[in-house]
Chains A and B, each alone.
Chain A
Amino acid sequence: MIPAKFDYVAPTSVEDALAALSQHGDDAKIIAGGQSLLPVLRMRLNAPEMVIDLGRIESLHGVRDDGDSIVIGAMTTHHEVRDSDLVRQHALLLSKAAAEVADPQIRHRGTFGGALAHADPAGDLGAPALALGAEFVIAGSGGTRTVAGDDFFVDLFETAVGEDEILTEIRVPKHTGWGAHYEKFVRVAHQWPIVAVGAAVRAEGGTIAEARIALTNMGSTPLRARGVEEALAGVPATEDGVAAAAARAAEGTNPPSDLNGDADYRRHLAGVLTRRAVLEAAGA
């Protein structure tokens, strides 16, 4: 398949990228790993005149330690997120979720920032980022702003990042020592999740002290399962202890119906997968 013709620039700084964005306005599109954008272009669902590649902007790559948080550059690939020691140590859930994205080829090209900015409700990284209370750093011509998860995900394929802005980095509060698991439910290995649940759990001697739970593909944005989190606090990390709390997973969700399953089935799955994710995260 051949995309429509477009021009291409690969600036080396965020400022240059922003300048290019404002110059071309609506006719421009940012490309990160291209794993969502290229299919769109090749299927001719979109035809930007200018494609701005963030790949050469060094400052957007990599993971760094910043006190209470780790900071993940938008252009860090899924593969790098999965393998990063810093991520493993302080935000294990992200590493586990990144390992579940698509297939190895896509994980080596697709980026953390690209996936979050694309905001596919079935994307695997939104819910884990939300669960861990990530903050999103967005650069625009007027400077830089930081947005919390609840404000970042707006709707299906819609985030707080404006047309003329760039998501530059994601700040993730450290959850050092927390157990984590990302339970992804698919029919074939390379699929987007039908439903997935990210769980990070701080266990103290067989009891769940704190839990962070978020759901993928249970609505138009990733959803935090706060009801479950509250119900989990203080319960024993056992099948019986967790089951009742997990059963609340579908509260307040609005999952889609499609050829992989209807909304009711997804609500049912959310409960089962939440229980499994929590138990796994708690090491039970």
Chain B
Amino acid sequence: MTATQDAPSVEIGQSRRRKEDQRLITGRTRWTDNLNLPGMLHLAMVRSPFAHATITSIDTSAAKEAPNVVAVLTGADFGDEMGVCINAWPISPDQKAPGHPPMPSDRVTFAGEIVAVVVARSAAEARDAAELVDVEYDDLPAALDLKEAAEDKVLAHPELGTNKSALWVFDSAEAGTGGNVEEAIAQAREDGIVIEREYRQQRLIPAFMEPRSVVVDPTGEQLTMWSATQIPHILRFALAATTGVPESKIRVIAPDVGGGFGGKLQTTPEEWIVWAVARRLAKPMKYTETRSESLLSAHHGRDQWQRLTLAATKDGTVTGLKVDLLADLGAYVSLVGGGVPVLGAFMFNAIYKIPAYHWQVQTVLTNKTWTDAYRGAGRPEATYAIERLMDELAAEVGVDPLEIREKNWITHEEFPFTTVAGLTYDSGNYEAATARAKELFGYDALRAEQAERRARGDKVQLGLGVSTFTEMCGLAPSRVLGSLDYGAGGWEAASVRMTPLGKVEVITGASAHGQGHETAFSQIVADRLGVPFEDVEVLHGDTQVAPRGLDTYGSRSLVVGGEALVRAADKVVEKARPLAAHLLEASVDDLEFAGGRFTVKGTDQGVGIGELATATFTGHNYPEDMELGLDADATFDPVNFNYPHGTHLCAMEVDTETGAVKMRSYVCCDDIGNIINPLIVEGQVHGGLVQGIAQALWEEAVYDESGTLVSGSFVDYLLPTAADTISFQVDHTVTPATSNTLGTKGVGEAGTIASTPAVINAIVDALRPMGVDDITMPATPERVWRAINDSKGGGDAPTEQAAMPHFENEGGAQ
């Protein structure tokens, strides 16, 4: 481990192996499900098999009789005391949102909704008894298909009178950020090019490694909740706000958390139920979901139809972009809910100078699992649409896809650049990233091979896909979020504490769940304070340890939280300075701070920051006017988002006989500003790429006609493994961000945002001579084959709503 690495003079930029990995990989750590408290009881949930139904009766008597069952409770046993699940981002003032009880007592609105909870002495007994709860339902018609639901034929929540939840519109002419898009389109219809397409963002499941788990201990003065969550601070806020328990009586702990990808950026019915039951029975409680429950009822992601119109002049200069989205909310408007598509509103224009822009989303309620953030949240959808359209435009104009991008992108001299969506991109260099990616990829040689295979009529065709993405991340300026009616801010807090023996405790309000913050943040503080990497301990994920924070999502932890850390560390140095001067009997102005020591200029006299910490511990000798202690807090609220960008190039081989596709090479050159730890960055990029590639090729949550999740296990919800991916070539250009002093940009989502269109563009590029201009995601071999053989529409056949029955038909004992 770290012992084998020599201590470098500068930590930032070193590929430190992650200090958290030993405990995470060996599992010798505290996951929520590992916790066992004295007298703890276990919960199992009873879930609705129906997408939409009235609950006519719930008979719990048999379950109550089962061995070691302590209680069986339903929604009717709780009133308002259970609280509600909240929506923190009503995207319009008149947004229609059904009430979201954690455990409804009258009606269920998606298959998987909880109707009863069993409390028993062991998890196994709770689960056994859950099968004995007898619920009678009256099946109601369900709103399932997004487009049909938007027509209000069947209502997901009849009391609302419509499935349409909110319409959110941005228009550049109205906002004064650009021209009128209808005029641009009309003009292009006359003498230019109009590209009209409809793309599907399929429904995805975040599929984090650790299933969600929650433990509540109501037995002390405070109620403590441990949860496998990304957002302990927001969770505490929401518990207080909706259950009437004062915030000061609530402690939330996110211990080590095994991944989230946005899927744990949620306040869940399960958390609220465990909370309520623990309070009711005054005993510690634990609930851990099964993988099946996780796939079924943890929130899903994406799920949009995108109607797009791109206007351009004949030479391929883009003159306008119109975006009309339908977004499936599922059965409730969840925590971020309709805000997820809205995060894309500012990004469809991407890296291009688009003079006129109109964007709107209609969010729609259906009787399916609710949707919310999934890695990239809003920005992958935007990047997919615009990067697919740019390829279509290139094909129409008859030029290389990179050429059309170059014609339209913001050049590096033009930064800072205010876009048609009203954002100011602070920095970037699309030319440099593209040049580097092209070189690594061997672009021209691959184009030559493509031409040769085409000429030869090879059964295996080659396609090259481009994605020159940017994104907005580092959520974010609190005032901007406020102007969008988001219910929270976007600042981040940090503290640096000097211990008596000179070690450093760093407290961050970010809540890592696999990102490697402990390592990267230690590197930053080690440099700033001039202390060894090993002397820095990063603490997080407990509202009692890190009382202020807004948690981890939206590629924000480094670019917002890291900057807060820098400021806190700098304050420590400033607090230490007068003490150093006092002990060295020198003037403050004569001191220099470097390498963890204050020295008197021009002498060999000095004192280390650790010694100063000890001096504040003893308090035997310090300046009259000094308040003892070096510890410092800081809060950082950036004034702008953060704009990573990059050029991704993908080569795909397409077996035209079977429709099977195979990745041949993948190169990305991302610009994420200054890099704190290249190894961690590479990990984020690799994982991100695979997640984006998986949307292009494999993953899809499929429901059948009755609203049952067909892809309800990993047999049918296809997650790739290492065996399905190739070695990526990852490189970087460095154009530092100007919105934080470290010059860093977020990298947590970049790979996912960029890669999906690169893959689909490559497949379409391979098949374009056969008349193919689209393949619906995921690009299954069947869809690709149908597209080849029936270029009219075959590539968008809906996914068959049935799974293979590997485990179903087990004869014998039942």
Binding site for B on A (CB under 8 A): 1-2, 4-5, 26-29, 36-37, 39-40, 43-49, 103, 120, 122, 156-158, 163, 185, 187-192, 194, 256-262, 265, 268-269, 272-273
Contacts and interface: CB of A to CB of B under 8 A. Distances in A.
B137 interface: no
Contacts of B800: 257-262
Contacts of B812: 26, 28-29, 46, 48, 163
A205 to B, nearest CB: 28
Given A39-B807, A156-B809, A261-B780, A188 B698 contact: yes
Contacts of A26: 812-813
A45 B718 contact: no
A1 B698 contact: no
B191 interface: no
Interface centre among A36, A43, A187 (most CB of B within 10 A): A187
B724 to A, nearest CB: 5
Interface stretch (B124-132, B248-256, B359-367, B420-428): B124-132
Contact of B124 (A5, A43, A257): A5
Interface residues on B, range: 35 or more
B797 to A, nearest CB: 8
A280 to B, nearest CB: 15
B721 A190 contact: yes
A187 B718 contact: yes
Contacts of B697: 187
Interface centre among A1, A49, A103 (most CB of B within 10 A): A1
A269 B322 CA distance: 40
A188 B724 contact: yes
Interface string B800-811: 111111111111
Nearest to B814: A46
9 shortest A-B CB distances, which residue pairs? Answer: A189-B723, A48-B813, A261-B782, A157-B809, A46-B810, A1-B290, A258-B802, A265-B782, A2-B124
B195 interface: no
Contacts of B781: 185, 187, 194, 261
A1 B808 CA distance: 16
B21 interface: no
A272 B657 contact: yes
Contacts of A265: 782, 785-786
A152 B650 CA distance: 48
Contacts, number: 117
Interface string B635-669: 00000000000000000000001101000000000
B240 interface: no
B702 interface: yes
Contact of B810 (A27, A45, A257, A260): A45
Contacts of A272: 657-658
Interface stretch (B4-12, B577-585, B709-717): B709-717
Interface in B241-259: none
B805 A156 contact: yes
A259 B799 CA distance: 6
Nearest to B716: A259
A28 B810 CA distance: 12
Contacts of A46: 810, 812-814
Contacts of B702: 259
30 contacts: A2-B123, A2-B124, A4-B128, A5-B124, A5-B128, A26-B812, A36-B806, A43-B807, A44-B131, A45-B807, A46-B812, A49-B813, A103-B721, A122-B806, A156-B805, A156-B809, A157-B805, A158-B811, A187-B697, A188-B718, A188-B719, A189-B721, A257-B802, A258-B800, A259-B710, A259-B799, A259-B802, A261-B780, A265-B785, A272-B658
B291 interface: yes
Interface centre among B291, B292, B809, B811 (most CB of A within 10 A): B809
Nearest to B714: A190
Contact of B291 (A1, A256, A257): A1
Contacts of B809: 156-157
Interface centre among B785, B809, B813 (most CB of A within 10 A): B813
B720 interface: yes
B286 to A, nearest CB: 13
Contacts of A187: 697-698, 718, 780-781
Given A43-B807, A261-B800, A268-B785, 15 more contacts: A29-B812, A29-B813, A37-B810, A46-B810, A46-B813, A48-B812, A120-B806, A187-B718, A187-B781, A188-B719, A189-B723, A190-B723, A257-B800, A259-B716, A273-B658
B115 to A, nearest CB: 18
A43 B782 CA distance: 30
Interface in B757-814: 780-782, 785-786, 799-814
A37 B809 CA distance: 11
B124 to A, nearest CB: 5
A188 B724 CA distance: 6
B387 to A, nearest CB: 24
Interface string B292-325: 1000000000000000000000000000000000
A258 B804 contact: yes
Contacts of A37: 810
A40 to B, nearest CB: 5
Given A1-B290, A5-B128, A29-B812, A191 B123 contact: no
Contacts of B128: 4-5
A92 B802 CA distance: 34
Contacts of A273: 658
B247 to A, nearest CB: 36
A256 to B, nearest CB: 7
Interface centre among A156, A185, A261 (most CB of B within 10 A): A261
Contacts of B780: 187, 260-261
B734 to A, nearest CB: 36
A185 B658 contact: yes
A256 B800 CA distance: 11
A43 B807 CA distance: 9
A26 B812 CA distance: 6
Given A189-B724, A190-B721, A272-B657, A47 B813 contact: yes
A185 B660 CA distance: 9
A45 B127 contact: no
Contacts of A185: 658, 660, 781
Contacts of B803: 258-259
Interface in B96-130: 123-124, 127-128
Given A29-B813, A47-B814, A1 B292 contact: yes
Contacts of B813: 26-29, 46-49
Given A2-B123, A262-B800, A192 B721 contact: no
Contacts of A192: 715, 804, 806
Contacts of B292: 1, 43
A114 to B, nearest CB: 13
Contact of B127 (A2, A189, A256, A257): A2
B811 to A, nearest CB: 7
Contacts of A191: 715, 718
Contacts of A258: 800, 802-804
A27 B812 CA distance: 7
A277 to B, nearest CB: 13
A40 B808 CA distance: 7
A32 to B, nearest CB: 14
Contacts of A262: 782, 800
Contacts of B711: 259
Contacts of A156: 805, 809
A268 B786 CA distance: 11
Contacts of B785: 265, 268
A122 B804 contact: yes
Contacts of A36: 806-807
A272 B700 CA distance: 26
B774 to A, nearest CB: 19
